[in-house]
Amino acid sequence: MMDREGWDRVQELFHRAADLAEAERERVLKEACEGDAELLGKVRAMIEEDSRGASLLDRDVAQVAGWLLDVPAIREIGGYQIQRVLGEGGMGVVYLAARKDLGNLVALKILREGWLSPARRQRFESEQRTLAQLNHPSIARLYDAGTLADGTPWFVMEYVDGVPLTEYCRERDCKVDERLILFRAVCEAVDYAHKHGVIHRDLKPSNILVSADGSVRLVDFGIAKQIDAGTQASNLTRTGMHLLTPAYASPEQIRGETVGVASDVYSLGVILYELLAGRLPFDVSEKTPPQAVSLIASEDPVKPSAIVRRSTGKSATRTASWADLDVLCLTAMHKEPRRRYASVKALISDLDHYLKHEPLDAHPDRAVYVASKFLRRHWAAVSATALVAALLLFAGTLALTLRTNGPAINTRPRTVAVLPFSNTGSDHSMDFLGTTIPDEIARVLGYSHSLTVRPFDGSRPQTDPSKAGRALGVASVVTGHFLKEGDQLQVTIDALDVQASHSLWRNVFIIPAANTIRLEGEIASRTRNGLGPILGAKEFALAPLIGGDMVIESANRPKNQQAYDLFLRAMAMPTGDHGALKQSRAMLEQSLALDPGYAPAWAALGARCGFDSWYGGGGTEAAQCAENANKRAVALDPDNVWNVAALQGLEHNQVAAAYRGAAELVRRRPENSQAHFFLSYTLRYAGLLEESEKECNTGLLLDPQSVAMRSCAVAFLLHGDYERARDFLHLDLGSPFEKALSMDVLLREGKEKEAWEARPATVPDWAGFPVLFAYLEHLPAGEIAAQARAMKPVSDPEMNYFAAAHLAYAGQPEAALQMLRAAITNGYCAYPGIESDPLLAGIRSDADFEGVRALARQCRQQFMAAQKD
């Protein structure tokens, strides 16, 4: 057995020689070992093992420990019992282990002493710090960390029972779009890491594991690198060849140059190539390091489409789409980092374009670039005459390209925010137009399947339009102003490109101030025929060719001046004030008595009755009003997303019917984030939390800044994914809703003190929050109990579920069970949330809880059975 001094000598020589070229390495080792064959053999063996990607996979614990340390295997570390070796990372061994007290499986990574040096310890600890700061559903999480008695570091990660990405796709014979969706999830994880200042630097299929349910996890940040905030991402230190995987490494990385975000983009391109073509773009398995460098750095890969055609004799997907797939791969894998996708987010954007059958942002290399590259590579072989001919040929090609390729029409979906209009005059009797004009513009734009429209949210203060657009994460903003002079009203509508901060479109019109019906007509017409096409609404641009006004619009124009005036003034009144809420409801009812065919008024009445039912004390009567009004709105305007969504029926145990309506809406409007949100909402009520989460993630992908998506936090909260719940709550950061639900998250994490400190300024008058606040304030038990007894179920069963959770946490089991039963019997299945919700822990041992649990299971079973009918 080698003594400690001998091991120190082995480590010293290993770290001196590992990064050297092969010939130089042998020279250094032979000189340093001075004829000591055993020492030379040990160092060579360590370098050989260090260069292999999976050299320990087939060895058991005893073999691995024996090779590394020449000591007996360790069977237990910390509170974890080691079961078997999972694999070898960049500088440590990964074991499958079980936590002794809970029995759950984890992946335990340890840096063994035979590999221990200051440099390797630093890398190992860096990986631990990196994982600690990354919290993403597609990145394996860090659970625990520590050191052995001898100082050997270890940490515990989420165990992913999965297979490498390429293997998963091959075994299931996944279609191209299915592969792209999985690949997109990988890109989301890498983009998240980049946003948190981390470059992975070793992306490859074996570091991307896919579980049986199709969920993706990115693992092994062993050679990841932090982006220095004071430097550009491209100025990162180089990674030695012995730590990376050459087949997936970028040209600059394999040459040992500085690497950054662009290198991860390249590696993703290689993975995408392999997913599509079934093989790597470059086979370096039999190449020496210099040969691998030359191949990857200078040779162009064959297009993946050509590989597929050679191997199958046909295309594996739509023939016309292979050009786009080639562009996706080859742009990501470009030899020149600056010509790749500028970020992983840009790659994701083009993946989305492809999946939606839209034009890509990236384009193949232009002829001039290809020509210049060819000439640089073959300069010595090209004669002067041939050179002149070649240049003339490419000049002609370029001229033809410039003549035939006019300005591109941007057909990609756009996200648009409609901001309040300002009153620039002194007559404040028309102030209500500040919100009603943008409401009308948003309503008309909402009919376009090519736009994601974000209407004005009154909770957000108006700022400079470009700044507001950047804060909201939209491509364009629409705003404007109006001025009343005498009996005339002048309206100006402006559309601005957020990124370029310049005007896209401006329109000014003057009408009689008293004629608000004409105002509505002018706004609708100018939005549909002028503004919409500029923003990318293809349907509006084609409307004149298919008969002018769209039927859905002409069928929903106001017909009574007095009714429309009432509607406009009601719409401008705040819903957060109980008095104003009831007044606006009464005005809308008067408006509809005069003009019962105006769908927007029915939709507005449904919304206000819903608010009155939930927050204004309107009770059952207001809930019935909401349902009736929403039905009328849908009957009059079935293509309006918000109208259809409002008709959920969830307050009256009609979850199955609501689900079918929401699913049909998603089928008709797959590009609309709110449609996916409404579907997630019904799935949440049915207790299908994972399915609800998927729809939420899709909706957020389509519109990453939509405040309306905040409610999705509930699905993740009930499923125990508190960090993802926060992601959705942060869409409405600072609002009473966000503060109240953030309390719920913290309470479920066992952080009562932090929850109390994070409470909203006033007690929310819903979901049992008054009782919860009383408990957290340590009010007398009798007072808390009296408040609990006085609570009655409300029309929204989800509110009753949260009330039950708060009552249970406050030590009021009888009231909690009553409220929980009311939630379930009225359509909120609550299963399986009730099994794991920490706030319900105090009532699970109650004799009546088993009956409630049975009701919850039955609720979910009935929903699922209804979908089979």
The residues that are catalytic are 202
Measured CA to CA, the distance from residue 569 to residue 603 in angstroms comes to 15
Q: Which of 89, 98, 75 is nearest to 123 (CA)?
A: 89
Pairing of strands 208-211, 414-423: unpaired
Six-digit token string for 460: 């957000």
**DSSP E strand stretches across 676-758:** none
SS3 499: coil
- Which segments of 531-618 does DSSP mark as H helices, in order? 532-535, 538-542, 551-554, 561-571, 578-594, 599-615
The HSE-up count of residue 682 (CA atoms within 13 Å, CB side) is: 29
CA distances from residue 621 to 588, 626, 794 in whole angstroms, order as listed: 16, 9, 11
CA distances from residue 564 to 120, 240, 291, 474, 636 in whole angstroms, order as listed: 73, 72, 77, 31, 17
Q: What do you get for the CA distance between the two ends of the chain, in Å?
A: 72
The HSE-up count of residue 771 (CA atoms within 13 Å, CB side) is: 28
Q: Write the secondary structure of 120-170 as one string of H (helix), E (strand) and C (coil).
A: HHHHHHHHHHHHHHCCCCCECCEEEEEECCCCCEEEEEECCCEEEHHHHHH
Six-digit token string for 11: 């480590």
Six-digit token string for 330: 């080859």
- Which residues on neighbouring strands pair with residue 476, listed in sequence order? 416, 497
Given the structure tokens 């075994």, which residue do they identify?
Answer: 171
DSSP-derived letter for residue 259 is B
Q: Are 374 and 387 in contact (CB under 8 A)?
A: no
Counting every residue, how long is the chain? 869
Q: Are 225 and 129 in contact (CB under 8 A)?
A: no
Measured CA to CA, the distance from residue 689 to residue 687 in angstroms comes to 6
Pairing of strands 76-77, 80-88: antiparallel
Q: Are 469 and 476 in contact (CB under 8 A)?
A: yes
Concatenated DSSP letters for 350-413? HHHHHHTT---S--PPPHHHHHHHHHHHTGGGS-HHHHHHHHHHHHHHHHHHHHH--PPP--S-
- Which segments of 280-366 does DSSP mark as H helices, in order? 289-298, 304-312, 322-332, 344-355
Q: Please give the backbone phi and psi of residue 510, each rounded to the nearest 5 degrees, phi first.
A: -125, 130
- CB burial of residue 270 (10 Å; 0-12, 13-18, 19+): buried
The answer, yes or no, to whether the previous bond of 289 is cis (omega within 30 of 0) is no
Given the structure tokens 């230190």, which residue do they identify?
Answer: 237
The two counts, helices (H) then strands (E), for the chain are 39, 16
